[in-house]
Amino acid sequence: MEYLPNIIFAVALILGIGFFARNVKKLSRNIKLGKDVDVSDNKSKRWKNMARIALGQTKMVVRPIAGIMHVIVYVGFIIINIEVLEIILDGLFGTHRLFSPLGSIYDFLIGSFEVLALLVIVAVVVFWIRRNIIRIQRFIKPEMKGWPKTDGNMILYIEFVLMILFLTMNAADFQLQQLGAEHYHEAGAFPVSQFIVPILDGLSESSLILVERTAWWLHILGILAFLNYLYYSKHLHILLAFPNTYYGKVKPQGQFNNLESVTKEVKLMMDPDADPYAAPAEQDTGEPEKFGASDVMDLNWVQLLNAYTCTECGRCTSECPANQTGKKLSPRKIMMDTRDRLEEVGKIMDANKGEFVSDGKQLLNDYITPEELWACTTCNACVQACPVSIDPLSIIVEMRRYLVMEQSAAPTELNNMMSNIENNGAPWPYNQMDRLNWVNE
Amino acid sequence: MSEQLKVKTMQEFMAEGKQPEILFWVGSAGSFDDRAKKISRAFVKLLNKANVDFAVLGTEESSTGDVAKRAGNEFLFQMQAMMNIELLNGYEIKRIVTCDPHSFNTLKNEYPSLGGNYDVLHHTQYLKELIDNGRLTITGDGYKGKRITFHDPCYLGRANSVFDAPRELLAKTNAELVEMKRHKKAALCCGAGGAQMFKEPEKGDMDVNVLRTKGALETNPNIIATGCPYCNTMMTDGIKAYEKEDSVTVLDVAEVLANSQGL
Ligand code: HEM
Ligand code: SF4
Ligand code: SF4
């Protein structure tokens, strides 16, 4: 019986990490449903982007309040996780504060964790107020109803509770150390939790141990639960922000990719020596290539990674000229829809032994409407605003390509514009022979 | 009809067995749109003043295909691009200057992988180069005391990080430059991009150009300067929506410079 807690702990740990590993596998399978894309270029620029944008949080602080609060939560989270390592080892070996032989360094570490925990609590409260009391515009757009709203708050509650548990655990521990309780040798400094101690005043040693153990267990179980919550949440960003900023666009924002499949066909059409009756190469490999995207599998895997990384912060949408003038388009919704559809596709695959079976739905129309797609001015404001290097515009363009090239479903005025280009080399119905008239007018 | 502009076509250069310093890519708007034609003329006046040996393609020029690409018609874009590239490569063109940021962007970024490699400049960059090299001088105080605010075209600024050249040119006229709240990387679109210029906007509660013009008017400008024929149209319409045509004018940077020199 003596080792029961250690065993329970080990089982919880294995289950927690095991489930997480399963989610990671699913995540990686879903992302790989996307088309291949060459991202082997510009390695040093990519590393720099990751260091600057994710690690250095440079684009977060463009909005100073949200940015600084987030830096606190982010730094707090990473550093406090050093403590989690000790908690895990203590749990496995039944030790108490395993790292305490570090002496004054240990005191300093625990002291800093406490201060950070307090700062995180402050930041989380500010975040909550911004979402629920001030109701900042970008958090209350139509796509934020339901789960996204709950998710946004849930995270804050989890962080809050975890930090309170951490401090409570320390306070009880501190009190026990003062009382000279067995097993609770003196270690650590408690600049914050000492103020919680008076609340615990008068509790017997066994009650204190109960408080300390409960807080300890809830804290570590909470962290394991949080780890498994990530996959279902916009909080996946705490992991994916790093690869996503690495794979983010490194070309000038105005540069769109040239579809290679189109290049092949256009070259064939323009080559006077080409044999018009020769079978197109694609037919050897099966069906002809589809132009543009109508579903998530037509997007590339970086675009799908983008969708899982999105923090739903709405900075993109709040900078979008179409959204600002009341159009339906919201670049954040483009990302959320892509993720939702990808999840749906993943679930269908789970239910069919890894095979995708059409459910009669797709990203186009069932999630994203042409009205949204046609409202985009391709201005790149959303790309510029995104603090984690997401490119909603590339998805919009890929879907327009499908509408135009596979379905000939452009708005009438645009069809007119395009036939003008085909016929007279200008988007207006003017004669190419009049191109130089401006000189003498 | 005003004074005669000196404009030679590539065909004429070829006939003389010569190469121009630059090719001026006029673009469809610069060739056909009544307002944009004035920009082409202003730019040519400056080129003439600086004695630049430049060529145009004239009737051989065709749409870059940019707007078709933004609309999703990759086929039409690549057809146009390959046609243009064949022509440009045939003339052995090295340097291209254009007044249209959309042409600038696609020629510079999207033509290379299709076989068209040129040194592409926006006209504000080229004018700045002419001034820096002492070939063009801007003198006089005609614009002193005038407030000018510069609207960054998306495909020049955010898309290609050209922010300084147009501002430095405007500063040469001794005008007072005032920035809008949203400028440079954070500039708001005029509403024309992504083929919006050629269609009615989707249902909403306001037009993008009106919102952008609001931001411009908040700086109390005499002139809204820009560097794109489409932005020019959008901002001009925006000014009309606010009935400010009498007090605020929308000009291209090249027009501001040409006017300041009495050209
Ligand atoms: C590694 C630990 C991290 C933690 C614990 C964390 C925590 C949080 C929390 C609690 C929020 C919600 C804020 C709110 O309610 O408004 C949030 C939002 C966000 N996080 Fe993180 N984050 C982490 C890493 C990152 C990284 C590396 C990035 C990359 C730049 C990032 C970017 C964002 C963005 C863009 C938002 C949206 C918030 C806004 O713009 O206001 N996070 N994060
Ligand atoms: S590129 Fe399109 S979606 Fe992005 S901000 Fe501009 S208009 Fe909105
Ligand atoms: S795409 Fe980027 S800016 Fe937009 S909501 Fe997602 S994380 Fe925020």
Q: What predicted TM-score, i.e. pTM, was given to this entire model?
A: 0.93
At residue A79, the pLDDT reads: 85
Q: Which of A318, A328, A379 to mutate to test binding with chain B, by most B CBs within 10 Å of its CB?
A: A379
- Cβ separation B204–A325 shorter than 8 A: yes
What are the boundaries of each domain within chain B?
8-131, 140-260
Q: A35-57: per-residue pLDDT in tens?
A: 999 999 999 999 999 999 999 99
- Residue A278 pLDDT class (50, 70, 90 cuts): low
The preferred substitution site among A65, A72, A74 for testing ligand 1, maximizing ligand atoms within 8 Å of CB, is A74
Residue B263: CB atoms within 10 Å? 17
In the predicted structure, residue B2 carries a pLDDT above the cut 70: no
At residue B175, the pLDDT reads: 94
In the predicted structure, residue A275 carries a pLDDT above the cut 50: yes
- What are the residue ranges of helices labelled H in chain B? 10-15, 27-32, 34-49, 66-71, 74-90, 101-105, 123-132, 164-172, 208-217, 229-241, 253-260
- Residue A6 pLDDT class (50, 70, 90 cuts): confident
Mean pLDDT, residues B102-111: 98
CA dist B7 and A20 (Å) reads 69
**A250 interface with B at CB cutoff 8 Å:** no
Q: Do A83 and A72 form a contact (C-beta atoms < 8 A)?
A: no
**More reliable by pLDDT, B67 or A82:** B67
- Cβ separation B75–A418 shorter than 8 A: no
Mean pLDDT, residues B49-57: 97
**More reliable by pLDDT, A415 or B142:** A415
Q: A171-185: per-residue pLDDT in tens?
A: 999 999 988 888 888
CA dist B152 and B165 (Å) reads 11
At residue A201, the pLDDT reads: 83
Chain B residues with CB inside 8 Å of A432's CB?
Answer: 59, 62
- Cβ separation A269–B1 shorter than 8 A: no
Q: Residue B207 C-alpha to ligand 3 middle, in angstroms?
A: 24
In the predicted structure, residue B263 carries a pLDDT above the cut 80: yes
Q: A87-140: per-residue pLDDT in tens?
A: 888 888 888 889 888 888 899 989 999 999 999 999 999 999 999 999 998 998
Q: Do B202 and B172 form a contact (C-beta atoms < 8 A)?
A: no
What is the residue whose two structure tokens read 């020019």? B232
CB nearest B79 (choices: A266, A413, A428): A266
DSSP-assigned states of every residue in A71-95: HHHHHHHHHHHHHHHHHHHHHHHT-
Distances, alpha carbon A417 to alpha carbons A255, A438, B46, in Å = 22, 21, 32
Pocket around ligand 1 at a 6 A CB cut-off = A 53-54, 57, 60, 66, 70, 73-74, 77-78, 127, 131, 152, 155-156, 159, 237-238, 241, 311, 313, 315, 387-388
DSSP-assigned states of every residue in A104-127: HHHHHHHHHHHHHHHHHHHHHHHH
**3-class secondary structure, B25:** strand
Give the H or E element holding residue A179: helix A147-179
**B10 interface with A at CB cutoff 8 Å:** no
What is the residue whose two structure tokens read 């989707």? B202
Pocket around ligand 3 at a 6 A CB cut-off = A 310-316, 331-332, 335, 385-386, 388, 390, 392
**3-class secondary structure, B130:** helix
Q: A210-262: per-residue pLDDT in tens?
A: 999 899 889 889 989 999 999 999 999 999 999 999 999 999 999 999 999 99
Mean pLDDT, residues B100-104: 98
Query: Which atom belonging to ligand 2 lies closest to the Cα atom of A381?
Result: 5
Distances, alpha carbon B72 to alpha carbons A15, A394, B78, B101, B128, in Å = 48, 11, 11, 19, 34
Query: Which atom belonging to ligand 2 lies closest to the Cα atom of A330?
Result: 3
In the predicted structure, residue A280 carries a pLDDT above the cut 70: no
Largest Cα span, chain B? 57
Mean pLDDT, residues A265-281: 70
Mean pLDDT, residues A157-172: 92
Chain B residues with CB inside 8 Å of A404's CB?
Answer: 71-73
Give the H or E element holding residue B8: strand B8-9
Q: Do B168 and B128 form a contact (C-beta atoms < 8 A)?
A: yes
Fold (CATH) for B8-131: Rossmann fold (3.40.50)
- Residue A25 pLDDT class (50, 70, 90 cuts): very high
What residues form DSSP beta bridges with A368? A364
Nearest-by-CA chain A residue for B193: A377
At residue B46, the pLDDT reads: 97
Residue type, A236: L
Give the H or E element holding residue A24: helix A4-31
Helices (H) and strands (E) in chain A, counts: 18, 0
CA dist B257 and A252 (Å) reads 28
CATH architecture of A4-31+63-246: Up-down Bundle (1.20)
**DSSP-assigned letter for residue A97:** S
Mean pLDDT, chain A, integer: 92
In the predicted structure, residue A363 carries a pLDDT above the cut 50: yes
A291/chain B closest Cα distance in angstroms: 9
Chain A residues with CB inside 8 Å of B155's CB?
Answer: 254
At residue A286, the pLDDT reads: 56
CA dist A189 and A173 (Å) reads 11
Residue A333: CB atoms within 10 Å? 24
In the predicted structure, residue B89 carries a pLDDT above the cut 70: yes
What contacts B175, CB < 8 A, 6 or more positions away? Answer: B143, B144, B145, B146, B147, B148, B223, B256
Distances, alpha carbon A437 to alpha carbons A433, A440, B45, B173, B232, in Å = 9, 6, 16, 30, 21
Does residue A191 come out as left (phi exceeding 0), alpha (psi in the -120 to 50 range) or beta? alpha
In the predicted structure, residue A283 carries a pLDDT above the cut 70: no
What are the boundaries of each domain within chain A?
4-31+63-246, 249-274+284-410
In the predicted structure, residue A279 carries a pLDDT above the cut 70: no
At residue A95, the pLDDT reads: 86
B145/chain A closest Cα distance in angstroms: 32
B118/chain A closest Cα distance in angstroms: 15
Chain B residues with CB inside 8 Å of A251's CB?
Answer: 109
**B180 interface with A at CB cutoff 8 Å:** no
Q: Do A163 and A181 form a contact (C-beta atoms < 8 A)?
A: no
Q: A333-360: per-residue pLDDT in tens?
A: 999 999 999 999 999 999 999 899 999 9
Q: B141-153: per-residue pLDDT in tens?
A: 889 899 999 999 9
Q: What is the ipTM of this complex?
A: 0.95
Residue type, B219: T
Cα torsion angle, B204, A426, B31, B83, sign: positive
CA dist A131 and A124 (Å) reads 11
At residue A289, the pLDDT reads: 81
At residue B1, the pLDDT reads: 43
Percentage of chain A lying above the pLDDT 90 cut = 72
Helix A301-309 / helix A4-31 crossing angle, nearest 10 deg = 140
Own/partner long-range contacts of A24-30 (Cβ < 8 Å, ≥24 apart) = A24/A231, A26/A231, A26/A346, A26/A350, A27/A231, A27/A236, A27/A308, A29/A346, A29/A349, A30/A304, A30/A308, A30/A342, A30/A343, A30/A345, A30/A346
Selected from 2.60.40, 1.10.1060, 3.90.980, 3.30.420, the CATH number assigned to the domain covering A249-274+284-410 reads 1.10.1060
- Cβ separation B72–A441 shorter than 8 A: no
Residue B199: CB atoms within 10 Å? 18
CA dist B151 and B180 (Å) reads 8
Q: What is the end-to-end Cα distance of chain B in Å, rounded? A: 14
At residue A202, the pLDDT reads: 83
What residues form DSSP beta bridges with B98? B25, B122
- Cβ separation B204–A327 shorter than 8 A: yes
CA dist B233 and A99 (Å) reads 69
Q: Whose CA is nearest to atom 20 of ligand 1?
A: A311
B160/chain A closest Cα distance in angstroms: 6
Q: Any idea of the CA torsion for A400, A405, A408, A411, to the nearest 10 degrees?
A: 30
Query: Could you confirm whether domain B140-260 is CATH 3.40.50?
Result: yes
Q: Residue A44 C-alpha to ligand 1 middle, in angstroms?
A: 25
